[in-house]
A and B are shown apart, each in its own frame.
Chain A
Amino acid sequence: MIALSVLQLLVITGLAPLLHGAMKLLRARLQGRPGPSVLQPYRDLAKLWCKEAILPDGVSPIAVAAPGIALGVALTLAAALPLAVPAIPPLGEIVALIFLLALSRFSLGLAALDSRSAFAGMAASREQTIAALVEPTLLLALLGAAALGRGTQLSALMHVPFGLAGLLAIGAFFLVLLAETARVPIDNQETHYELTMIHEGLSLEFSGWQLAFVQAASYVRQLSFLLLAGLLLPGGTVWALAAWAVALAALVTAVETLFAKVRLFEVPQLLVSAFVLAAASIALRLLGATL
């Protein structure tokens, strides 16, 4: 069972950069550019791995360790998904995973403030703001199975009947997905303008293998969140999950092409509407038996 989990972890980690590369290529094609090779993220990671890491003068050990924590959290999330096995029992617990994601944000946020750069501090502030608003939605969107009395394990989500409540939940989760994977309209991964960066800004002062850690963590997180979204959609098999993840990745790319980034202070409206969707979904499920 542990061996299967490790295998799942390796497969997700191995494929995560590929998916990112594919999304980048698709986006470029949709915008009429030739785009980079799908293997470009692997090359980037290899290049960064070989490079020397530099850090600002006098930073604390937190900034040294933060990329490791971020990568560890992303890998834990990948290992906890109920794909190869129902997940090692305590790991696949939804509430605990949400707390765990906070650990990664917390350490990256501290590292950003430690770097003495105003851009990094700004990014940390925005990242924490958006995360605070996303957290209730993320929780409620994933509690569909719990609302039917099936517990808070991720694996329980696979066999929840879809219906209107499921539709609302996936709608809410899709917006959360955009926020958590730093996509337009909430964030823009492709930006080179520090003032608009959120997720990228956090890692401004990282370089070399440290940056490779942070990048790898965000690739793995992205694939994990897409697979999580797949759990909310009908199917119930690993292949269905993978297919949904790819379809959603294409949808995310399409959204990135079709929509512009919204202003930071309009993001809350987007996230509040996501919360309303998630709350409505859970309320429907909770009252389904009595209404």
Chain B
Amino acid sequence: MTLRLFGVGATWAISLLAAFLAFVAVTRGHMAFASIPAVLPALRFDVGVTPLAAPFLALLAMLGVAVGAWGLRGDRPVDAVLIAGFVAAMLLVLVARSVAAFVLAWELMSLVSAFLVAANHSCRSVRRAAFVYLVVAQSGALCILVALLLLASRAAGPTFSEIAVAAATMPPGTRTAAFVLALIGFGSKAGLLPLHFWLPRAHPVAPPGASALLSGAMLKVALYGLCVVVFELAAPAPAAWGVALVILGTVSAIGGVLYALVDHDLKRLLAYHSVENVGIITIGIGVALVARSSGVIALATLALIAALFHAVNHGLFKALLFMGAGIVAKTQGTVDLEKLGGLWGRLPWTAPLFLVGCAAIVALPPFNGFASEWLTFQSLVGGFALEDPVARILMLGASAGLALTGGLAAACFVKVFGVAFLGRSRRAKQSHVDEPLRERFNSATLAQALLAGACAALGLIPALAVVPLVRISAATLGALQPPGIAFAPLASLSALPIALVILSVAGVLACLALVARRGLRRVPTWTCGSPVTPAAQYTATAFSKPLRLIFAFVLRPEHRRLVETGTSPWFPARIVYRIESRDVIDEAARRLGAIALYAARRSRALQSGSLRLYLAYAVAALGLVVVLARR
């Protein structure tokens, strides 16, 4: 218990620190705290805050508080300590202001999170997930290190401010190389297609509190890294980078939601939705870059506000949904949508809170997802007025892609909530689940309530986030002049959510009043006269079938029918019907992994154990160094 309390206390303390730093960053702007010299000047540690880090710090603080409360009951005690370490590592990444500090903090974050992913390591699939995660994280970290070193090569020193000063004089080739490497490194960590394949494996297997942080916070820290590179270290970014980000973002958004649609493992489905939402955030960043390189700072500011706002929002509702999925897993023993159903009655706290998360993630007014997705749309539509016709067509494509994503996400969450929480349980044997086990309010539900409250508050009063974000974005983009016409969306956003839903709220109240006055008779469902069984309900597979068939060219579903024949081949004992979707990229990654492992096995020959061979290596290396040094 002391271990758990220590972990939770530390998480809360770090969250408070993060909140304080976010406040400082918004009110004071750039601020350097400490510069710790090292033996080599290149290894100097610099710590400070920038306005850009502020929304991420604030998100980390909110998630830290909620995950801390969650940790009081859920997970193992040692996980609570690991989570505290994880939050601290993310905080360090956000305040690192020199190459060495950033890379070290980044590595710390990857390693601690790998321990969390591997928490249930007795299961083979968990070990594999952790291994894949580590491989991707380390390869990504290598790319980031090289990118930062490339950027620092021309600078006077290793601190980010010095690199930013030198960025303008860098040859475009080097800068582009650094951008591509940073995009691979940060993009793989953030889960952008096609480097997302680790994410749907790693996020679901971690303990729920850790999943909430992995999806809610760590992906955003990766996007923060990308923002630092494109808006500060390698600024000014050419329009082509923005174009690349918008295209990648759109592809990730559509791809993520399509794979989520056909997946019926609640946690893996949520992980795929992270890919989708990271895509939406990346679209915002890309539009900001395109607009900035065209000199339309007002539009760039709007797009950056949308991206940062959506990053915060996604962190909040995704953490909420992962916690809900954790409760489902704990109480039902499964997260397979085909086996769930009717949880509304059994989880009277989690179910409505989960519904808030669903409404927020599909951007229904008046929740926070609506506000930020709407702003993203507004920035795309604002891009219709850009000079460059290519940019305009790009914005058109991205708007259509985003609209499709929105529709598909709505379909997916109708499926999730309708199948898992509504209707009746789909279990064949209902012995232990049908007893009226009622959930009580406890610290785990408190954590979800905090996050749901934040989702509702930011949705109803978007100004809470938008007002500081205007300052942050303007400071990040170096906007000097007061915001112009593109800011009309921000002004109308404050009244929009309430105006949109006020009649619907009235409608709901009318319904409740009518039920109170005239009553509502309950009868069995009409199933054409046949007995009402849970098996008559529509399943998740059936629900997603039309979309699975329409998008078969991407999803490539595989139908498998296993017939178990008993005594007679004409009367099968059991028929199992299974549909699996083959993730094309997953397949490619698996092939690549196999090749890498093969190469690793072959390279074992180098390590023969013979002392003489090792001496020969040493001499050869020395010779190589001498030859290289002489040139």
- B503 to A, closest residue via Cβ: A72
Chain B residues, CB < 8 A from A112:
418
New A-B contacts (6) at CB < 8 Å, excluding given A96-B496, A152-B381, A209-B514: A52-B519, A53-B518, A65-B512, A72-B507, A95-B381, A139-B400
Q: Is there an interface contact between B538 and A118, defined as CB atoms closer than 8 Å? A: yes
Query: By CB atoms of chain A within 10 A, which of B345, B355, B415, B511 has the most?
Result: B511
Indicate if A89 sits at the interface (CB-CB under 8 A): yes
Q: Is there an interface contact between B520 and A55, defined as CB atoms closer than 8 Å? A: yes
What's the dominant secondary structure at chain A's contact region? helix
Task: Name B residues whose Cβ lies closer than 8 Å to a Cβ of A.
Answer: 342, 344-345, 351, 355, 359, 362-365, 370, 373-374, 377-378, 381, 384-385, 389, 392-393, 396, 399-401, 403-404, 406-408, 410-411, 413-415, 417-419, 421-424, 488, 492-493, 495-496, 499-512, 514-515, 518-527, 532, 534, 536-538, 542-547, 549-550
Chain A residues, CB < 8 A from B417:
110
| Least distance between A76 CB and chain B CB atoms (Å) | 5
Chain A residues, CB < 8 A from B408:
132
Q: Is there an interface contact between B544 and A125, defined as CB atoms closer than 8 Å? A: yes
C-alpha spacing A58/B422, complex, angstroms: 10
Chain A residues, CB < 8 A from B492:
89-90, 93
C-alpha spacing A151/B532, complex, angstroms: 52
Q: Is there an interface contact between B504 and A135, defined as CB atoms closer than 8 Å? A: no
Indicate if A163 sits at the interface (CB-CB under 8 A): no
Chain B residues, CB < 8 A from A210:
511
Q: Is there an interface contact between A265 and B546, defined as CB atoms closer than 8 Å? A: yes
Interface residue from A54, A93, A125, A139 paired with B399 (Cβ < 8 Å): A139
Chain B residues, CB < 8 A from A286:
384, 389, 392-393, 396
Q: Is there an interface contact between A72 and B385, defined as CB atoms closer than 8 Å? A: no
C-alpha spacing A53/B520, complex, angstroms: 6
Jot down 20 A-B pairs with beta carbons below 8 A, ordered by A.
Answer: A57-B522, A58-B522, A60-B422, A72-B507, A76-B503, A91-B499, A102-B406, A102-B407, A104-B504, A110-B414, A117-B526, A117-B537, A121-B418, A133-B550, A140-B400, A147-B396, A151-B488, A152-B378, A209-B514, A286-B396
C-alpha spacing A58/B421, complex, angstroms: 12
| Least distance between B277 CB and chain A CB atoms (Å) | 16
Cβ-closest 9 pairs across A and B: A121-B538, A113-B418, A132-B407, A68-B507, A72-B504, A72-B507, A128-B411, A68-B511, A135-B407
| Least distance between B495 CB and chain A CB atoms (Å) | 5
Indicate if A287 sits at the interface (CB-CB under 8 A): yes
Chain B residues, CB < 8 A from A128:
407, 410-411, 414-415, 547
Indicate if A168 sits at the interface (CB-CB under 8 A): no
Q: Is there an interface contact between A71 and B400, defined as CB atoms closer than 8 Å? A: no
Query: By CB atoms of chain A within 10 A, which of B399, B492, B507 has the most?
Result: B507
Q: Which of A215-269 contact B (CB under 8 A)?
A: 264-265, 268
Chain B residues, CB < 8 A from A104:
504
Interface residue from A58, A136, A287 paired with B407 (Cβ < 8 Å): A136
Q: Is there an interface contact between A125 and B422, defined as CB atoms closer than 8 Å? A: no
Indicate if A34 sits at the interface (CB-CB under 8 A): no
Q: Is there an interface contact between B406 and A135, defined as CB atoms closer than 8 Å? A: yes
Task: Name A residues whose Cβ lies closer than 8 Å to a Cβ of B.
Answer: 52-60, 62, 64-65, 67-73, 75-76, 79, 88-91, 93, 95-96, 98-100, 102-106, 109-110, 112-118, 120-122, 124-126, 128-129, 131-136, 138-140, 143, 146-147, 149, 151-152, 204-205, 209-210, 213, 264-265, 268, 275, 279, 282-283, 286-287, 290
Number of A-B contacts (CB under 8 A): 267
| Least distance between B291 CB and chain A CB atoms (Å) | 14
Q: Is there an interface contact between B381 and A209, defined as CB atoms closer than 8 Å? A: no
| Least distance between A153 CB and chain B CB atoms (Å) | 9
Evaluate whether A139 and B521 lie within 8 angstroms (CB atoms) in the complex, with A100-B365, A109-B414 already known. Answer: no
Chain A residues, CB < 8 A from B536:
116-118
Chain B residues, CB < 8 A from A151:
488
Q: Is there an interface contact between B504 and A68, defined as CB atoms closer than 8 Å? A: yes
Evaluate whether A205 and B526 lie within 8 angstroms (CB atoms) in the complex, with A128-B411, A136-B403, A147-B384 already known. Answer: yes
Interface residue from B406, B508, B514, B534 paired with A99 (Cβ < 8 Å): B406
Chain A residues, CB < 8 A from B519:
52
Chain A residues, CB < 8 A from B550:
129, 133, 265, 268
Evaluate whether A68 and B389 lie within 8 angstroms (CB atoms) in the complex, with A95-B374, A132-B547, A133-B550 already known. Answer: no
C-alpha spacing A4/B408, complex, angstroms: 37
| Least distance between B365 CB and chain A CB atoms (Å) | 6
Q: Is there an interface contact between B374 and A58, defined as CB atoms closer than 8 Å? A: no
Query: By CB atoms of chain B within 10 A, which of A56, A98, A132 has the most?
Result: A132
- A95 to B, closest residue via Cβ: B377
Chain B residues, CB < 8 A from A152:
378, 381
Evaluate whether A287 and B508 lie within 8 angstroms (CB atoms) in the complex, with A54-B522, A58-B424, A102-B362 already known. Answer: no
Evaluate whether A135 and B403 lie within 8 angstroms (CB atoms) in the complex, with A68-B511, A96-B496, A99-B373 already known. Answer: yes
C-alpha spacing A59/B345, complex, angstroms: 9
C-alpha spacing A287/B389, complex, angstroms: 6
C-alpha spacing A209/B215, complex, angstroms: 43
C-alpha spacing A161/B520, complex, angstroms: 52
Q: Is there an interface contact between B500 and A96, defined as CB atoms closer than 8 Å? A: yes
Q: Is there an interface contact between A57 and B527, defined as CB atoms closer than 8 Å? A: no
| Least distance between A205 CB and chain B CB atoms (Å) | 7
C-alpha spacing A67/B404, complex, angstroms: 25
C-alpha spacing A109/B364, complex, angstroms: 14
Chain A residues, CB < 8 A from B534:
116
